[in-house]
Amino acid sequence: MDAKTDNKYAKKDSFQFSVELEDHRLGDNSSIKIYRNWINPEETSRLHYHNSIEIGYCHKGAGKSIIGTKIIPFSSGDVCLIPKGVSHWQVSNKGVQSEWSYLFFNPDLIIPMVAEDQDNVSTILSSLLVFKHFDLPGFKAMFFEIFEEFEKQSIGSRSIIVAQLAILVVKLLRVKNFTVTLADKMNTSSKDINIILPALNHIRQNFRNPINNDALAEKCHMSVRNFSRIFKCIMKITPKHYINQIRISMASIDLRNTSLSITEVALNNGFQNISHFERAFKRAKGMAPQLYRKQ
């Protein structure tokens, strides 16, 4: 039986799912939240998004962050700023455990304190930013001063935390070398995403293994034809191309950041044989994997 997909999809269903929305609004604009997470080797974090700004610091490990439509490698010491409403998940590299600490806050918390730089700060906080550790001297100390003050909860802690957070964000404006892009906000409603969320989660957890439309459609309680049509309507790409895009992007990061052989890279990212991988890679990147690695 097909799933209910809203009037614009003209189908009906018998189930409900909710997007994994992590709500870090703590009741007012004067609060923040801290969090630490471990990602085991080859495991993925949940597909989710936040109602707050997220700043993450990687203590150790290496892997990939999948943020909106971007796939970005991370390693120890890296910093990532993710705006509100941007879907993301992470995966650790093979044999590697990754450890992250996160700050979550509402941008209204610090905007009044940065009046002279408000436009620049607002742009920063609405953008996806990725910083390498060597471009952020002193960031780690500032970041964990906020954590320490949060844990103290002494007289004046809230004022100190807000001030430190404002300084930290303004200092990000001074960094010259970082990856920045206007973030891909979820351009479909959570109701839309809910319809194919079981399939997206299945792809996230199993992109290294064979995946077919039959299994994805079954996860969403739809016929294959209806699932394929709705998936493309929501994601603007077919399920096959979406899976291939993830695999190629993951493989391209491995080629540049690991010493794995071409065959190992292919097999680790869901390609069943090297010839298929080489054809798909060249079609997507315009060059062979061997040449891409050398650049």
Q: What is the pLDDT of residue 47?
A: 78
Dihedral-angle region of residue 13 (phi above 0 means left; psi in -120 to 50 means alpha; beta otherwise): beta
Q: What is the pLDDT of residue 194?
A: 74
Q: What is the pLDDT of residues 201-259, one digit of tens each?
A: 899 889 999 999 999 999 999 999 999 999 998 888 899 999 998 999 889 989 988 88
For domain 18-180, the CATH architecture is: Sandwich (2.60)
Residue 290 has pLDDT above 80, yes or no: yes
Residue 13 has pLDDT above 70, yes or no: no
CA–CA separation, 201 vs 43, rounded Å? 13
CA–CA separation, 213 vs 218, rounded Å? 8
Q: What is the pLDDT of residue 177?
A: 56
Give the closest residue to 161 by CA, choosing from 10, 34, 290: 34
Under 8 Å CB-to-CB from 24, ≥6 apart: which residues? 33, 50, 51, 52, 54, 104, 105
Band of residue 27 on the pLDDT scale cut at 50, 70, 90: very low
CA–CA separation, 165 vs 157, rounded Å? 12
As a whole-number percent, the residues of the chain with pLDDT over 90 amount to 34
Q: What is the pLDDT of residue 5?
A: 41
More confident residue, 92 or 49: 92
Q: What is the pLDDT of residue 178?
A: 58
Average pLDDT score over residue span 26-53: 72
Average pLDDT score over residue span 75-98: 87
Average pLDDT score over residue span 69-83: 87
Among 25-29, 132-136, 175-179, the minimum mean pLDDT is found in 25-29
Q: What is the pLDDT of residues 211-223, one digit of tens each?
A: 999 999 999 999 9
Residue 29 has pLDDT above 60, yes or no: no
Average pLDDT score over residue span 18-22: 42
Q: What is the pLDDT of residue 179?
A: 56
Q: Do domains 18-180 and 190-293 have the same CATH topology?
A: no
Q: Where are the domains of the chain?
A: 18-180, 190-293
Residue 129 has pLDDT above 90, yes or no: no
For domain 190-293, the CATH architecture is: Orthogonal Bundle (1.10)
Band of residue 21 on the pLDDT scale cut at 50, 70, 90: very low
Please name the amino acid found at residue 72: I
CA–CA separation, 12 vs 189, rounded Å? 18
